Amino acid sequence: MITLPAQPFAYTFELARTALVIIDMQRDFVEPGGFGASLGNDVRPLQAIIAPLQALLAAWRAAGGCVVHTREGHVPDLSDCPPAKRDRGQPALRIGDAGPMGRLLVHGEPGHAIVPELAPQPGEVVIDKPGKGAFYATPLQAELQARGITHLLVAGVTTEVCVQTTMREANDRGYDCLLLEDCTESYFLAFKAATLAMVRAQGAIVGWTAPSTAVLKALA
């Protein structure tokens, strides 16, 4: 068992029963010209988490931990994209439109890919998800159950959308979730801070938060 300092109190997990879940670290969210930028966002703050996440991923792999990557996106005919999702707002480009990195949030397009620094390795779980939460319309629950996973270390983007939605879905399914503070980011600083506070409020009502250095120290 590993116990590390976290908020609102110490987090305990067993390596063999814990997955590192990296949410949507796709070019479409962190690079100019992608889906995130099409909504008018400055994507640069999201790029800052690549380095700490890369260090954590390397240590987690070296320790033999289970790794799960998710990608938000849709099949090319957009049959898994509700019109409400595509039509919402007034973006410069919509899901499925052609941009500099190919069609936005469409499977197989350059922008749909995970950034090269965090690219999945053979044997790691890759979940393609049409929604914000990683459990909706995906095999994630089955993949975790098949591996005996009970705890999730959660990272990725964006904190208040796909990361938080996935944590809440996981929490309702009984997983103990730790959100890695410096390995998640939002286009909105205030939204990230609010999400961290919401997650750990009321005695870890959704989960715990800690910096990735706490995990690195525990694994060393």
How far out from the chain centre does Cα 28 lie? 13
Q: With respect to ligand C5J, which residue has the nearer C-beta, 13 or 29?
A: 29
Minimum separation from the CB atom of position 28 to ligand C5J (A): 9
Minimum separation from the CB atom of position 187 to ligand C5J (A): 8
Instruction: Yes or no: say if 20 and 155 are a contact pair by the CB < 8 Å rule.
Output: yes
Report in angstroms the alpha-carbon separations of 163 from 137, 146, 178: 16, 22, 11
Pick from 220, 208, 195: nearest CA to 56: 220
- Answer yes or no whether residue 72 interacts with ligand C5J by CB under 6 A: yes
Minimum separation from the CB atom of position 13 to ligand C5J (A): 24
- Answer yes or no whether residue 24 interacts with ligand C5J by CB under 6 A: yes
- Does the annotation mark 85 as catalytic? no
| Calpha distance 78→86 (Å, rounded) | 9
Instruction: Tell me which of 28, 66, 128, 162 is the catalytic residue.
Output: 162
- Of the residues 7, 18, 38, 158, which one makes contact with ligand C5J according to CB under 6 A: 158
DSSP 8-state assignment for residue 52: H
- Of the residues 6, 19, 144, 157, which one makes contact with ligand C5J according to CB under 6 A: 157
Residue 17: CB atoms within 10 Å: 15
CA-based torsion, 215, 59, 169, 195: positive or negative = positive
Write down the residue that tokens 């590390």 correspond to: 4
| Calpha distance 92→31 (Å, rounded) | 15
Instruction: Yes or no: say if 184 and 21 are a contact pair by the CB < 8 Å rule.
Output: no
- Answer yes or no whether residue 37 interacts with ligand C5J by CB under 6 A: no
- Does the annotation mark 24 as catalytic? yes
- Answer yes or no whether residue 195 interacts with ligand C5J by CB under 6 A: no
Stretch that binds ligand C5J, among 13-21, 61-69, 144-152, 156-164 (CB under 6 A): 156-164
- Answer yes or no whether residue 31 interacts with ligand C5J by CB under 6 A: no
- Answer yes or no whether residue 43 interacts with ligand C5J by CB under 6 A: no
Q: Which helix (H) or strand (E) holds 155?
A: strand 151-157
User: How many amino acids of this chain bind ligand C5J (CB under 6 A)?
Assistant: 8
Give the footprint of ligand C5J on this chain (CB under 6 A).
Answer: 24, 29, 72, 132, 157-158, 161-162
Residues designated catalytic = 24, 129, 162
